[in-house]
Structure 1
Amino acid sequence: MLNQTDHATDSAMLNRMDIKRILSVIEIWVAGFYFAYFLGFNFPQPVTTALNLTSYPVLAILVVSCWKRVLHAASRDWAILLLHFIAFISILWSAAPEVTTIESKTFVRAALFGFYLAVRFGLKGQMRLLSYIFGAGILFSVFASLGFPSYGVTQTGEAAGSWKGIYIFKNLFASTSSLAAILFLLLALEYRKQRWLNIGLLILSLVSLGFSQGRTAAAALLIVLCLLPFRHLFQQAYRQRVVIGAAAVFVSLTVIGIVLGNLEFILVDVLGKNLEFNGRVPIWELMVEFGSQRPWLGHGIGGFWTSEASDYLLTFTWASATRLAGVRFNAHNGYIDLFLQLGVVGLALFGISFVTLLWRTVYVFIRTQAIEIFWVLQTLLFLTIVSLADSLSVGTASGQWILYVSFTSAIAIEYQRLTKRPAAARSAPWRIGITDADHPQRR
């Protein structure tokens, strides 16, 4: 009788474990599918509508399942939390309240998803999840661009003939291809397991970037790759670190001097732009001038380009072409767009958050030498550069902003963990972090 009872108890425990395992797999698939949607996968319109409508209840379920950890993660960066709060209440002063009502919710939704990713997957888990998403996106994009050019290739405008794959537009595809290249290169360098698969996906990412004709994303990728020599810098002896660091500073200053001395050649002949970035500088000046009419809190999230405040820009500048095409214009500069929407206060809060995140990331990387922390550094640098010429991440509800928010929480938690370590552990910083035992695939 006792044996039967024990057997029944063991069976019940196994059943519960199986159910938890199944639920965990379902959760990963659901999170990955919605992350792909937020990153700009161009699903058929009925699917897009369904995903948008169901994203709120699904996200609520995901967040509630780990709400204590999400609350803890959200409180780690007060600046980013306050930025989203101001965006949410910006309906009170918005120039287009009906638009702000909708977009403030999507902005907060993006933040919640970012906090959820940070606590549910961590940085290593996000790298793995994104490798699947980026890999699928690249493969399907190549297939769509070659097999169904009416869908995967831009058909009209100045960008006609450039690949956009399964993404909404070509600049987003170019930016995502660069992010994928960064990720697959690090995975190929770090892990022996599936190295050739990562190299193959890296090559496809670079090919996709080339056919997308995204020159800003390509230039940003080249700059980011210059960080690779610093990856193992802090593992060296003190004298070697000094020599390598001094050499890196000298090379960096030399490169900056060469770039500044040949700026016109780089912009015109290499990037295909003029000294005014194809007319962007004059319109940026006008945007700042119009934004200064509401300097402190801006026109509300999503409020500037959907209100009368932008009429002059959309009528008497080259931005008028987007109005005729029925497409909402943006500043083609994430920082200016954030200033237009949430003013100096919003821009300052983002600046505080970014500087804090950068400092914490560098600190954590020096302490741990972890590959996922170096990935965060490279991704942050890439998003910073791309945001100077496009409005894909900063202050948006996009997948790239979700990634940034998740970084703020995940890095803050790791920073707090490291700074609270005993003094004995802090005295040997180079031994803290990921080891080969943590990653058997390295062996």
Structure 2
Amino acid sequence: MRKILLFAEQGFTIVSLLMYSGAIFVVVLSGGAGQSDIVEYDSSLIRIIYSLIYAVTLVLLVLRWKKTLYFLSKDFWLYSLLLLTAVSIIWSFEPSTTLKNSFALINSSLFGLYFASRYTLKQQLHLLAWNFGIIVILSFIFAIALPKYGIQNDLGGPKWRGVFTHKNGLGAKMVTSSMIFFILGYQTQRRSWLFWCGFSLSILLLLLSASGSSLLNLLIIILAFFAFQIWRWPYQFMVPTLIMMAAISQSLYFWLSNNPDVLFSSIGKDATLTGRTELWPLVIDMIWKHPWVGYGYGGFWQGWNGESAYIWLVAGWTPNHPHNGYLALCLDLGLLGLGVFFVGFWRSYLKGFAWVRSSKTAFDIWPLIHMTFIGLSSLTESNLLESNSLTWILYVAVSLSVKM
């Protein structure tokens, strides 16, 4: 009986991770719509599934209430940020949206709490491997057998998007997938070929998605993986090596600053990052209108009837997010929210280094890897503080996992 319950709980965890990944349901229910298509579809099934996940997660946390309380006491800044999203309904420009989004954010964050309190880092990575293994296989099936859903044709040519609604969604998820399979293949002796196969297929999907920024992020993160291991060396070797790496990185930064076209052309982007750099000044203008607490969580992007109308009018197109996680956070919660996030993130990052220093396995580098990914991807994507987002849930999980 105990084994059956354990199997059922792991099954629930994998299904939940699959839902939070944003895979399958939206692209199917939207009929394989492109990014510029305006499609209305019945999302009641998705809402029902999320509600069931919230309820089961809460029950599992209550059943292990002592451990739940222990982990709840570990990150004041994380919970302060979540509380701020809920309180922002007071000044929100769209209170109903703020109420709905903050409710989903808090509940999905509770799943991150459950994931960290229930499973070790090694177990988390294995469950994530199951999740991404399913995503990788289904992405190939969708693209090859169901191209209406798996191929995106409204971006100047066919691009793979697999079980996601946009090619960049597939690219970003394959960065995380690649690193999970890479860490498991690097550390595990038994059946390591299976993890390297998952790593290879994830890389292939990343290339087929033609997501240049995701490819660049992956290359940086793989280099970071080996750099983080230097932190375990004896001090007499570690310190000079880190100083040398810092000097090389600084030189590379200055060179790329003076030759940005080399970087952009290498990832298939123009100097505006596909219009992002033209959008950001407009977003900053709106941030400075309400700089301290923002427009409320989810209260800004309300189309022509909201504050986003100014950006749509001036930019000449209709973005639904600023393509930058830090700017999105400022719009939602102002400089106060951004400051609370950065304090919590920096504390977790330092804890991650201490965790790596005191451990020996590649599994223990995973928290630093994911936080590095968040720092990089938030420069061009807006899912930093997104409800029902796997990226945010894993941030909650790794932040709590290194504070035991």
Give TM-score, length-normalised by structure 2: 0.90
For 1:236 and 1:400, locate their aligned partners in 2 and report how far apart those are by CA, in whole Å: 30
The yes-or-no answer on 1:278 pairing with 2:260 is no
2:377 to 379, 386, 391: 386
- SS of residue matched to 1:412: coil
The count of residues paired between Structure 1 and Structure 2 equals 386
Matched, 1:303 2:299: yes
The whole-number CA distance in structure 2 between the counterparts of 1:216 and 1:23 is 41
Within the candidate set 243, 248, 264, 2:245 is matched to: 248
Alignment of 1:119-268 (within 5 A): 119-156=117-154, 158=155, 160-267=157-264
- State, as a whole percentage, how many aligned pairs show the same letter: 25
Which one-letter code corresponds to 1:273 in the other structure? Answer: K
Tell me what 1:430 maps to: none
1:421-432 aligned at under 5 Å gives the runs none
Supply the AA of the counterpart residue of 1:375: W
Letter matched to residue 394 of structure 1: L
- Identify if the C-alpha distance between structure 1 residues 101 and 232 changes in structure 2 by more than 3 Å, giving closer, same or farther: closer
- Contact kept, 8 Å, 1:153 with 1:160, in 2: the verdict is no
State which structure, 1 or 2, has the greater radius of gyration over its C-alpha atoms. 1
How far apart, CA to CA, are the structure 1 residues paired with 2:400 and 2:101? Answer: 23
User: Given the superposition, is the C-alpha separation of residues 101 and 341 from structure 1 closer, same or farther in structure 2, using an over 3 Å criterion?
Assistant: same
Looking at structure 1, the residues matched to 231 and 314 of structure 2 have their Cα atoms a distance apart, in angstroms, of 53
Taking the aligned partners of 2:376 and 2:229, their CA distance within structure 1 comes to: 24
1:23 corresponds to 2:20: no
The superposition leaves residues 317-337 of structure 1 with CA deviations (integer Å, 9 ceiling, x where unpaired) of: 1432x5xxxxxx011001100
TM-score (norm 1): 0.83
Whole-angstrom CA distance in 1 between matches of 2:52 and 2:317:
34
In the alignment, which residue of structure 1 is the partner of 2:111? Answer: 113
Over aligned residues, Cα RMSD in angstroms? 1.9
Give the deviation of 1:397 after TM superposition.
3.5
CA distance change for structure 1 residues 342 and 232 in 2, over 3 Å: closer, same or farther? closer
Q: Distance in 2 between matches of 1:256 and 1:317?
A: 30
Cα offset for 1:194?
Answer: 1.3
State the partner residue of 2:311. 313
Name the CA distance, whole Å, in 1 between partners of 2:309 and 2:390: 29
Residue 84 (structure 2) aligned to one of 57, 64, 86: 86
Whole-angstrom distance in 1 between the partners of 2:396 and 2:203: 26
Query: Structure 1 residues 123, 278: closer, same or farther in 2, change over 3 A?
Result: same
Cα pair distance change 1:347/1:159, threshold 3 Å: farther
Deviation at 1:196, TM superposition (A): 0.8
Provide closer, same or farther for how the CA distance between residues 383 and 159 of structure 1 changes in structure 2, counting only shifts above 3 A. farther
| CA distance, structure 2, for counterparts of residue 348 and residue 277 of structure 1 | 26
**Could you give the per-residue CA deviations for residues 26-81 of structure 1, whole angstroms, max 9, x where no partner exists?**
11111210111011112254652431332332222222222332232122111110
2:321 aligned counterpart, secondary structure: coil
State whether residues 215 and 267 of structure 2, in contact with CA within 8 Å, keep that contact through their aligned partners in structure 1.
Answer: no
Conservation of the 8 A alpha-carbon contact between 2:221 and 2:369: yes
Query: In 2, are the aligned partners of 1:294 and 1:343 still within 8 Å (CA)?
Result: yes
Q: Name the CA distance, whole Å, in 1 between partners of 2:368 and 2:253.
A: 20
Q: Distance in 1 between matches of 2:99 and 2:228?
A: 44
Report the secondary structure of 1:400's partner residue: helix
Unaligned runs of 5+ in 2: 30-43
Q: Is the 8 A contact 1:165 1:173 kept in 2?
A: yes
2:244 maps to amino acid: A
- For residues 108 and 239 of structure 2, the distance between their equivalents in structure 1, rounded to whole angstroms, comes to 42
8 Å CA contact retained: 2:297, 2:332: yes
Q: Which residue of 1 aligns with 2:365?
A: 374
Pairwise mapping of residues 42-121 of structure 1 onto structure 2 (< 5 A)?
A: 42-43=24-25, 44-45=28-29, 47-121=45-119
Residues of 2 paired with 1:253 and 1:73: CA distance?
A: 38
Amino acid at match of 2:355: V
Q: Is the 8 A contact 2:132 2:177 kept in 1?
A: yes
After superposition, the C-alpha distances for 1:261-312 in whole angstroms (9 at most, x for unaligned) are: 3212211x22233333232223211111112222111111111002521111
* Local SS of the residue matching 1:226: helix
